[in-house]
Structures are given as structure tokens and as C-alpha cells.
């Protein structure tokens, strides 16, 4: 088994807002090994993106605060690193692809300027060397006539092409770890498939590790080796792809799986998860999923279930499991 590259241990992130305090990530622990693709799945507001931004130390403080836990990248706790060490880590060792390229890319600089900035700062390339490298990168991510597009602005690209530019920027300094935060959500279905394929081919080609964040379990089915399912700030299930798809243990994971359209399904209708995600400023006591869970018991309304190993490498947090 490959060695761990990234280890999160009891990560807890809080935000102090005018309307009150909320815990966006609550005691999350998982590990990503070298060359592994890890899917982090859950509805909007479950804490996936805050977890990813915490790894990059991109949580604005205040109002946010990483109040507990450890994030070890290649054995070093990123929470103990200086700002200069973090700048060296971002882009060169860990890179991130964001959901909405228009908000992550700068509309007043050309594509070449934006990508070559990282190349010149991190790798010390000259202006001309950086320009040539940008041509290579744009070609790598499938942008046609890359030399002609160098001096284009972001608004001159389509949604799928902007996401390719983001990927080129993320790959520019040869990182060993990529975090893709809902990279296909804003795109239409056919472009989603192309971008997904592009990301997985880059991961294979460069031997990178990947955290792929999505609200759609169907998307990670073909891309990820292992999967973590988050609900209302907690990691509720964690396991290999087969554990999650063939032996799901948490009712929320089962609900997500039942919500995926399947061509071979007997049923005509999908089974949605009833209700909606709780208000994180005033979450329910006990298991946060209990207002939506068909199996909720009295204990679920009082006590938070323990996150524990139920089979080698397969963890879940549910009182049903404590009762066999
Ligand atoms: Fe449902 Fe209770 Fe399990 Fe929560 S702990 S998922 S409410 S059975």
C-alpha cells in the first residue's frame, strides 16, 4: 500500500458570523495515499469545500478559524507552516481547481499573464520561457490553437474552455496533489464528461493524488479509489469505492445512492432523501441527519453517533451499527 500523502486528523473549522457561530467542519479525519483518488461527497453546505480550503489554508480568519485538528502534508502539519512556506506549498506541491473559473480567474489579465505569473514566481522562468510553457500547458489540456489564444481574456472562452484554463494553471508547476472542488458543476453534461476525463487522464499521466469534491456520487463512481461522505459538517461514512457502492452502511449514503438515475433500474421513479439540510446555525441535537432519517431512534435525537471502523478500511457513524 502506498504511503499517506495527506492526513487530516480531527479537523474542526468554525465561523463566527453576525447571526451566530457555526461549525462548518466537525472532527473530520481521513487520509489520501500517493497516487490515490479520493472523492469527498455531500450536499451543498456539508463542509466539503471548507475542508478543501482548510488544506490550502485559504479560510479567511476572521470570520473563520481552524479551531482543532491537524492537516499533515507529506508528514508536516500545514497549520504550523509560515506564510512563506504555505506560498511555496500552494501551486508547487498542492494545486486547486475551483468550481467557478470566472471567479477564480482574473478578467483583466490575459490567460498567458495569469498562468505565466505562477511559472515565473515559483519556477523562476523568464518571460519567454514562461510563454512557451503556457503554450505547452494549453495544448496539454486540449485548447485548440494554443499560441493564438495566449493573449485572449477569460471572457473570450466558453465555460468548458475556462475550466481547461484553470486546469492548465493548476498543473503549471507540476504539483503532486490536486484538489478539484466541483470542477464540473457549472458545465453542461457533455462538457462535464470531457473535463472529468481530462482530469483523470492528467492524474494518471503525472501520478498525482487527487481529492475530487462533488455533490454527485455518480460522478465519483468511475474516478475515485476511495470515498468520504459528508453530512452537515461531519464525515458520516468513509471507505473504498466498493464499500460505498456495494455495502453502504449509513442511511444518508444509501439515500444518495438511491437518488442516482440508473438505466437498469426497475423502478420508474427516483427515491429522494426527504427534507432538506439542517440550518447549521441551529443544528439538531444528536445525529444531524435524524430529522430526515427513516430509521431514527430515540438515541439518535440525543447522542451524536461515534465514527468507527466497521470493517477493515470502512468507517461509518450511525447508532444502527452499534445495535448490530
Ligand atoms: Fe439515522 Fe440514527 Fe443512524 Fe442518524 S444515527 S443515520 S438518525 S439511524
pLDDT tens digits along 259-298: 877 666 566 677 788 888 889 999 999 999 999 999 999 9
The whole-number pLDDT of residue 265 equals 59
Q: Tell me the mean pLDDT per 10 residues along the chain, length 324.
A: 92 94 96 94 92 94 93 95 90 85 83 90 89 91 90 88 86 90 76 81 87 87 92 96 94 90 66 86 94 95 94 95 76
CA distance 125 to 131: 9
CA distance 89 to 75: 13
The whole-number pLDDT of residue 74 equals 93
Do 234 and 307 contact (CB within 8 A), yes or no? Answer: yes
The whole-number pLDDT of residue 268 equals 66
CA angle in degrees (0–180, nearest 5) for 172-142-91:
15
Q: Is 256 in the pocket of ligand 1 (CB under 6 A)?
A: no
Which triple of cell numbers denotes residue 264? 437498469
Q: Is 287 in the pocket of ligand 1 (CB under 6 A)?
A: yes
Q: Is 118 in the pocket of ligand 1 (CB under 6 A)?
A: no
pTM of the model as a whole = 0.90
Q: How far is the CA of 290 from the centre of ligand 1 (A)?
A: 6
Per the rule left: phi > 0, alpha: psi between -120 and 50, beta: everything else, 202 is: alpha
Q: In testing the pocket of ligand 1, which one of 297, 302, 303 has its CB within 8 Å of the most ligand atoms?
A: 297
Amino acid at each position: 500500500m502506498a504511503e499517506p500523502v495527506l492526513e487530516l486528523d480531527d479537523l474542526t473549522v468554525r465561523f463566527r458570523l453576525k447571526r451566530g457561530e457555526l461549525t462548518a467542519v466537525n472532527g473530520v479525519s481521513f487520509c489520501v495515499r500517493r497516487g490515490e483518488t479520493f472523492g469527498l461527497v455531500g450536499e451543498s453546505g456539508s463542509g466539503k469545500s471548507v475542508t478543501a480550503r482548510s488544506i490550502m489554508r485559504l479560510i479567511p480568519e476572521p470570520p473563520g478559524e481552524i479551531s482543532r485538528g491537524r492537516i499533515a502534508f507529506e508528514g508536516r502539519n500545514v497549520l504550523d507552516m509560515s506564510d512563506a512556506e504555505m506560498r511555496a506549498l500552494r501551486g508547487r506541491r498542492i494545486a486547486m481547481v475551483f468550481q467557478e473559473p470566472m471567479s477564480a480567474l482574473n478578467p483583466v489579465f490575459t490567460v498567458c499573464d495569469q498562468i505565466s505569473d505562477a511559472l515565473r514566481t515559483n519556477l523562476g522562468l523568464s518571460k519567454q520561457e514562461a510563454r512557451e510553457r503556457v503554450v505547452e500547458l494549453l495544448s496539454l489540456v486540449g485548447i485548440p490553437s494554443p499560441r493564438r489564444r495566449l493573449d485572449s481574456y477569460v471572457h473570450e472562452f466558453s465555460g468548458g474552455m475556462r475550466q481547461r484554463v484553470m486546469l492548465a494553471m493548476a498543473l503549471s508547476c507540476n504539483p503532486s496533489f490536486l484538489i478539484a472542488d466541483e470542477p464540473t458543476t457549472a458545465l453542461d453534461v457533455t462538457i462535464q464528461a470531457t473535463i472529468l476525463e481530462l482530469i483523470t487522464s492528467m492524474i494518471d499521466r503525472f501520478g498525482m493524488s487527487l481529492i475530487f469534491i462533488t455533490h454527485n456520487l455518480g460522478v465519483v463512481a468511475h474516478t475515485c479509489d476511495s470515498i468520504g461522505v459528508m453530512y452537515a459538517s461531519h464525515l458520516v461514512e468513509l471507505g473504498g469505492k466498493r464499500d460505498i457502492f456495494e455495502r453502504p452502511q449509513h442511511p444518508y449514503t444509501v439515500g444518495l445512492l438511491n437518488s442516482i438515475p440508473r438505466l437498469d433500474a426497475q423502478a420508474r421513479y427516483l427515491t429522494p432523501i426527504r427534507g432538506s439540510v439542517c440550518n447549521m446555525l441551529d443544528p439538531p441535537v444528536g445525529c444531524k441527519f435524524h430529522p430526515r432519517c427513516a430509521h431514527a431512534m430515540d438515541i439518535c435525537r440525543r447522542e451524536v453517533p461515534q465514527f468507527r471502523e466497521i470493517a477493515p478500511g470502512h468507517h461509518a457513524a450511525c447508532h444502527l451499527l452499534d445495535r448490530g
